[in-house]
Amino acid sequence: MRAVRTTLPLGLLALAGCFYSSEAGKNLETRVDKLDHDLRAEQKAQQEKLDEQQSRIDQKIAQVSKALDSLDEASRRSGADASVQLQKVIEDLAQLRGQVEAYTHSVDALQDRATAAKGSPPAADVPRPTDKKEFFALAQSKAKAGDITAARSLYVEFVRKWPKDDLAGDAHFALAESYYAQDNCPEALPEYGQLIKNFGKSRSVPLAYVRSGDCFARLKNPEAARLAYEQVLSDYPKSSEAKLAQKGLAALKKPPPPKGKK
């Protein structure tokens, strides 16, 4: 989420009106003054909306923390019940992530409007293809070009446009991988969860479980990591991801290094 709040260059608009002369110039100056007034009113309204959305986001973050506490409890269970609990918490996180996304999307839209008023287009302001395959390919091309911000924006938009399409699962996975690569597991986990929950037949599901295990390990929750790895071994025992899961499990069994040593 973009935390920087933009301020419109209202003074420039008011100043511009002072450079006109003649009747036509006065009419234009009047219009500029009106635009100045309207923009000030819009800026105030946007700020109020941003504050309201920020409050909602804070509430959802608190709910995510509660869900993670539930994950700690689930990780202490064993057997099939633990697997069910793990899946439930991942789904809960995915749902909360979707709600937070909806709020942050509204915030971003408001900030984009402010940015557009300054004459600077948003980072992902590129022509959108109407064909879903071309749309997805555009997101991939942005990712390959290193424009991660634009790629993520396009992947999120793709999911909103075609939520049930198989490529939406790939979009969730691509989003998760982009966060995982930046060691941003709190953002990655819910995206992996969306893939696992809604696109269970996707070929990326085994790796999503492995990545989830890796993330839980990074977040100092070894029991949840173990459950994720074991799910891969149980459901996809002959896959290449099963080997990764075995390595993950082996790493969990290693004693932590003494304090003060790497």
CA angle at 123 for the pair 120 and 129, rounded to the nearest 5°: 115
pLDDT confidence of residue 84: 66
**What's the pTM value of the predicted model, to 2 decimals?**
0.57
Low-confidence ranges of the chain (pLDDT < 70): 1-43, 46, 49-50, 53-54, 56-58, 60-62, 64-85, 88-89, 91-125, 256-262
Q: Tell me, what amino acid is at 235?
A: D
pLDDT confidence of residue 89: 67
pLDDT confidence of residue 175: 97
Say how many CA atoms lie within 13 Å of 40 toward its Cβ. 11
Could you tell me if 98 and 124 are in contact, meaning their C-beta atoms sit under 8 angstroms apart? no
- Residue linked to tokens 């990712």: 143
Residue 228's Cα: distance from chain center in Å?
A: 22
Could you tell me if 150 and 183 are in contact, meaning their C-beta atoms sit under 8 angstroms apart? no
Structure tokens at 214: 């890796």
Structure tokens at 61: 């973050």
pLDDT confidence of residue 20: 31
CATH topology of domain 127-255: 1.25.40
pLDDT confidence of residue 45: 72
Could you tell me if 176 and 196 are in contact, meaning their C-beta atoms sit under 8 angstroms apart? no
What lies within 8 Å, CB to CB, of 150 at 6+ separation is: 123, 124, 126, 142
pLDDT confidence of residue 107: 54
